[in-house]
């Protein structure tokens, strides 16, 4: 099984192919080898290895998604194809194909085996903004490969103390690396208590005092000139009664910082209605944030989370429900849709209060290979998963993302006219994600 998309690659993407190429997503079937997959698409096997950064090309997993960069800037016509279907596949117009192939006298009479030149496509793909949250612990190698794919990099995080002071972080290395790649750093502030989690009382103390807010803004203004483009406010688990105080705070932040040339972003919980109940949701006012700030990051993940029963982290059907509400109250171009760059491994049977183990997408596939599991794909959630038994004979269930699930989510960006996407987090490198993203969109760079 294969899904066809298109991709324009540059050296900055970490690949050496040039020009427009076809990118296919191949789902490994029983009996497939990397050699047979490469032969099926007519590409060198090494290209497939490099694109997926496969550690052991000899060992594939049934159900595994493999991206295949299949060909150069020409398309070989297959039986049943028309110029119209080829134009749709490459997101170009029939007229542009005719201009690039002056030898075609009758568009209705192209033949199987005929080579069709595909015109450059970058101007035909939508341009979006891409944010990546990052912890300062990111390795130099992952940072170097990731920055070309980002518009913004949001360094997590300066923790706000109850007196308005900030817990310092080591952010200089990331800021200095980002600038040459035309990736703009964002300063992130959170109501996370030192050494702990999000704290409602810290936010309440800050939001209840104008003098503490003044101290906080003064401390923020000392840090922003380090090279930050703007401020990302990520206050979570706020008391419902602090809703209007939080709205006033973000308006005040925008009024104070925007005249200095800084942009303002907020991160919001994934709501499907204004009346949604719960500590995570009630104080996050979509219309107020949409009116006050430059970008809103929707945290459209964590349906499956550390303490939940096993399920997809970001099921596309539920992500879409959030977007359906969000675009009615927030200008769509201000919205960056959240995408998780992680999965979870649950121990079965699920016991309430037990914790799942976080796992990267590449590590999930490596685990499936190690335990000889078959990867399945949930069509409703558009997410891959598998089950296995550990050495203690305990059953596990793993949900993660692959090229297919990433493609399904990214389609929502164009469908709803969003400004772009935001990844939590980019500390681990998932090559398939960036290949699929670049196949569908151009990434906006600033400067």
**Which residues are known to be catalytic?**
236
Q: Residue 27 pairs with which residues in a beta bridge?
A: 65
Q: Is 56 exposed, middle or buried (0-12, 13-18, 19+ CB in 10 A)?
A: exposed
In the block, which residue shows the tokens 């007519």? 42
DSSP designation for 150? -
Q: Alpha-carbon distance 206 to 410, whole Å?
A: 37
Q: Alpha-carbon distance 83 to 239, whole Å?
A: 58
Neighbours of 372 (CB within 10 A): 9
Mark 163-172 as b/e (b = at least 16 C-beta within 10 Å): ebebeebebe
Q: Alpha-carbon distance 339 to 423, whole Å?
A: 5
Q: Residue 187 pairs with which residues in a beta bridge?
A: 155, 231
Q: Alpha-carbon distance 30 to 28, whole Å?
A: 7
Count of alpha carbons within 13 angstroms of residue 189, beta-carbon side: 26
Q: For strands 65-69 and 343-347, give the pairing.
A: unpaired
Backbone angles phi, psi at 31, to 5 degrees: 95, -15
Q: Alpha-carbon distance 228 to 434, whole Å?
A: 24
Count of alpha carbons within 13 angstroms of residue 84, beta-carbon side: 2
Give all strands (DSSP E) within 207-354, no chain letters. Answer: 230-234, 263-268, 295-298, 335-340, 343-347
Q: Alpha-carbon distance 391 to 393, whole Å?
A: 5
Q: Is 44 exposed, middle or buried (0-12, 13-18, 19+ CB in 10 A)?
A: exposed
């Amino acid at each position: 099984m294969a899904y066809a998309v298109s991709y324009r690659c540059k050296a900055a993407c970490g690949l050496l192919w040039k020009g427009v190429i076809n990118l296919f997503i191949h789902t490994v079937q029983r009996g497939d080898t990397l050699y047979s997959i490469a032969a099926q698409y007519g590409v060198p096997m090494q290209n497939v290895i490099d694109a997926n950064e496969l550690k052991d090309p000899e060992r594939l997993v049934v159900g595994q998604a493999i991206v295949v960069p299949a060909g150069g800037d020409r398309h070989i016509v297959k039986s049943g194809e028309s110029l119209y279907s080829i134009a749709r596949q490459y997101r170009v117009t029939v007229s542009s194909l005719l201009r690039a192939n002056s030898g075609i006298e009758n568009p209705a009479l192209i033949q199987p085996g005929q080579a069709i030149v595909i015109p450059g496509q970058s101007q035909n793909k939508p341009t979006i903004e891409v944010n990546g949250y990052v912890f300062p612990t990111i390795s130099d190698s992952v940072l170097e490969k990731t920055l070309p794919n980002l518009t913004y990099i949001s360094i997590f995080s300066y923790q706000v103390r109850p007196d308005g002071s900030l817990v310092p972080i080591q952010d200089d290395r990331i800021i200095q690396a980002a600038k040459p790649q035309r990736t703009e750093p964002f300063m992130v502030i959170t109501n996370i208590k030192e050494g702990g989690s999000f704290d409602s009382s810290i936010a309440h103390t800050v939001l209840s005092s104008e003098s503490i807010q003044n101290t906080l803004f003064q401390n923020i203004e000392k840090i922003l000139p380090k090279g930050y483009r703007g401020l990302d406010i990520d206050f979570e688990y706020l008391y419902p009664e602090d809703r209007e105080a939080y709205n006033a705070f973000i308006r005040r932040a925008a009024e104070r910082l925007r005249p200095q040339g800084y942009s303002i972003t907020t991160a919001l919980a994934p709501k499907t209605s204004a009346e949604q109940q719960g500590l995570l949701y009630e104080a996050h006012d979509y219309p107020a944030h949409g009116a006050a700030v430059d970008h809103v990051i929707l945290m459209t993940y964590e349906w499956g989370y550390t303490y939940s029963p096993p399920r997809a982290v970001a099921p596309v059907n539920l992500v879409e429900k959030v977007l359906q509400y969000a675009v009615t109250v927030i200008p769509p171009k201000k919205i960056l849709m959240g995408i998780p760059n992680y999965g979870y491994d649950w121990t079965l049977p699920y016991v309430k209060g037990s914790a799942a183990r976080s796992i990267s997408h590449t590590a999930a596939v490596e685990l499936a290979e190690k335990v000889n599991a078959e990867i399945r794909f949930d069509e409703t959630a558009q997410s891959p998963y598998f089950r296995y038994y550990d050495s203690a004979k305990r059953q596990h269930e793993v949900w993660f993302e692959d090229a297919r699930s990433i493609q399904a989510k990214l389609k929502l960006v164009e469908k709803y006219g969003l400004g772009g996407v935001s990844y939590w987090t980019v500390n681990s490198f998932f090559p398939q994600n960036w290949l699929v993203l670049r196949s569908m969109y151009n990434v906006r760079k600033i400067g």
